[in-house]
Amino acid sequence: MIVTRPLAIGEVFDRATTRVVRRLAPVVVLSIVLAIPQIIQRELLRSAAARYDSGVILLGLLLTFLDVVLALIGFAAFVRLFAGADDLTLGRAVQLVLKDDPWPLVRLALLALLAALVAIAVYLFGFSIVRGGGTVLVVVYGVLFFAVGLLGVVFFQLAFATCVLDGTPATVSLRNTFQRAFGSTASRRRSILLSYAVLLAEFVPTYIVDLGALALVRLTHIPLVAEVGDALGAAVGTAIGAAVLTVAATDYRVRAEGTDLEAALDGSA
């Protein structure tokens, strides 16, 4: 059904949930694949913490790099899955990412690097305030950091989805995302609500899986179960967040294209 107005937050989540359910099998498989390097990495780091082993630590760092690469590939594959037809297979989605059009991965890597640099700058600025500022300044910074920081996280995630869907360079994706999400008062209000809703959608499944894993640890007394649950929970949260962001990014693009078309028609009249 075509909706001529911007989708409400509930409608975005409804469509995202429908897409996840319809593609449940590939979503589960991809989530498991993304979780495996995290499980191995955490087990290695846990064993290396007990005794200093440079080989184990080096392998853990290599797995961390592999985890970042897989996260980019996985996010792009999730977006392809949720933006494609219901019969799109996981293999075809990965093929679209790696073979047919690999440049979005480079753009995603640049966006991830930019996001990391911004996060480091904000952290260093906040650290200087905490060390040299008064109590009131620290509280104000903490509130702003929580509010704006969460919004920034979702903004970059939305830019990632826009980058994959539009196939545009990193800077263009950032510009398009900002214009579409914050170009008007109504879109700004909607984007702020959407950002906290997305974070909630990513956090709740992760928290539920973590709780289940902790319960199993108490029953089985196997610490590895907690690491498996933590990694799987994070992967499931990423999948659900990617579904919501794909629907939102598509809706933002449709509204922007509709506005451009309307302006062009008015100008030709």
Which pLDDT tens digit goes with each residue over 204-220?
877 787 778 778 778 87
Asked whether residue 185 is assigned to any structural domain, the reply reads yes
- Whether 167 and 207 have beta carbons less than 8 Å apart is answered as no
How many percent of the chain have pLDDT more than 90?
Answer: 0
Distant-in-sequence, close-in-space partners of 82: CB < 8 Å, separation ≥ 6: 16, 19, 20, 23, 242, 243, 246, 247
The larger pLDDT score, comparing residue 7 to residue 120, is at 7
Burial class (CB in 10 A: 0-12, 13-18, 19+), 34: buried
Average pLDDT (95-101) is 70
Higher pLDDT, 16 or 126: 16
In a domain, 140, yes or no: no
128 in a domain, yes or no?
no
- Please check whether residue 136 lies inside any domain of the structure: no
Of 62 and 192, the one with more pLDDT: 192
Least confident of 3-7, 13-17, 248-252: 3-7
Q: How confident is the model at residue 84 (pLDDT cuts 50, 70, 90)?
A: confident
pLDDT value for 165 = 83
Does residue 3 lie in a domain region? no
- This prediction has a pTM of 0.75
Look at residue 45 in the predicted model and tell me its pLDDT. 66
pLDDT at 145: 66
Q: Which domain holds residue 78?
A: 9-115+154-262
Q: Between 103 and 248, where is the model more confident?
A: 248
Residue 56 or 191, more confident: 191
- The better pLDDT of the pair 116, 32 is held by 32
Residue 265 has pLDDT above 70, yes or no: no
Domains contained in the chain, number: 1
pLDDT in tens, 31-76: 888 888 777 777 766 666 555 556 666 666 676 677 777 778 888 8
Summarised one tens digit per residue, pLDDT across range 171-189 is 788 888 888 887 777 777 8
What's the CA gap between 207 and 233, in Å, rounded? Answer: 7
Tokens for 256? Answer: 């922007």
The rounded mean pLDDT for the chain is 75
- pLDDT for residue 142: 65
- Of residues 160 and 146, the one with the higher pLDDT is 160
The per-residue pLDDT for range 253-262, each reduced to its tens digit, is 887 766 544 4
DSSP 125-139: HHHHHHHHS-HHHHH
Residue 143: predicted pLDDT: 66
pLDDT confidence of residue 164: 82
Distance CA(239)–CA(74), nearest Å, equals 9
